[in-house]
Amino acid sequence: MELTVLGTSSALPTSERYQSAHVLNVHERFYLIDCGEGTQIQLRKNRIRFGRIDDIFISHLHGDHVFGIYGLLSSFNLMGRETPLRLYAPDGFERILNSHLDDFGIILNYPVEVYPLSGDGVKIIREDRYLDIFAFPLEHRVPTFGFLFREKPKDRLMIKECIDRFKIPVARIPAIKKGNDFITEDGKVIPNEELTCPAAPPLSYAYCSDTMYFSKLATYVKDVTLLYHESTYDASHIELAAVTGHSTARDAARTARDANVGKLLIGHFSSRYKNVDHLVEEARELFKESYPAEEGKCYKIGRQE
């Protein structure tokens, strides 16, 4: 599981920072999360092939998280895309998208399947053999959702020398990996714990874009390996954060601490900050494993950097 950060700025892009966009690679399946202005430029800079993206997740319908999608969809068309694109966005986005396509006379050569997000609580919105993907509500000025990407539990690992020792047929190995015991030809039961060892724990990534602090959020992202949480302001602007529906770095760290996450990435920085070191320091006062999201950096989730 690898994360590439494409944009770390909030409402205003700067000469150093693009608007919100992340790409998550899970077993060579690529997921684009938010699509601010300039996303496709960043995809090219980071050598992420457009055709590898089949799923796009939009947290909310503010421009700095969605304006880039119109150009990206057009580029897909110009490149001759034919495979379906799945798009997850707050309820109402399909009407906006269709209006844009009609206004500019764009006829897509590929189907766009729009899955509207609404309601409360954590809900699964997609799954495959490797991954479960969930959406959950955030607290912002418009309906906003976070996303949780969690690997499915892996099968146990076979201890190779046991295969010859107990003469285990190849056809029985898949069931043993899933936890079954093995019965030898003479009827002896070999416990699964003697035949296998635990696989690595499933990895997970949670993306929390624009939101003010609320205690329930920690329950939504409990124990994730890597949490990305917006940190638009430092503590001196806590009142502005409340008015605009955003978080301070301290708010992000508080959620990370209460959720017992492995590592925290902070981003969505206000353009007023040319340097964000003090935001990182503020977060580390509550949660030591806090780091700034860096554009163009690939984070290998679950491994030491």
Sheet holding 85-90, edge to edge: 112-117, 85-90, 53-57, 29-33, 21-26, 2-7, 298-300
133-151 burial code (b ≥16 CB/10 A, e <16): bbbbbbebeebbbbbbbbb
190 phi, psi to nearest 5 deg: -100, 115
Q: Closest Cα partner for 211 from 229, 224, 228, 235?
A: 229
Q: Please report, for residues 42, 61, 149, 165, 240, the alpha-carbon distance to residue 248 in angstroms, rounded to integers and kept in the order given.
A: 26, 21, 24, 58, 10
Q: Please report, for residues 35, 50, 109, the alpha-carbon distance to residue 80 in angstroms, rounded to integers and kept in the order given.
A: 21, 11, 7
What is the rounded (10 degree) CA torsion for 55, 60, 66, 72?
10
For the question of residue 55 being annotated catalytic, the response is: no
Residue tagged active-site, from 34, 55, 64, 210: 64
Which active-site residues does the annotation give? 64
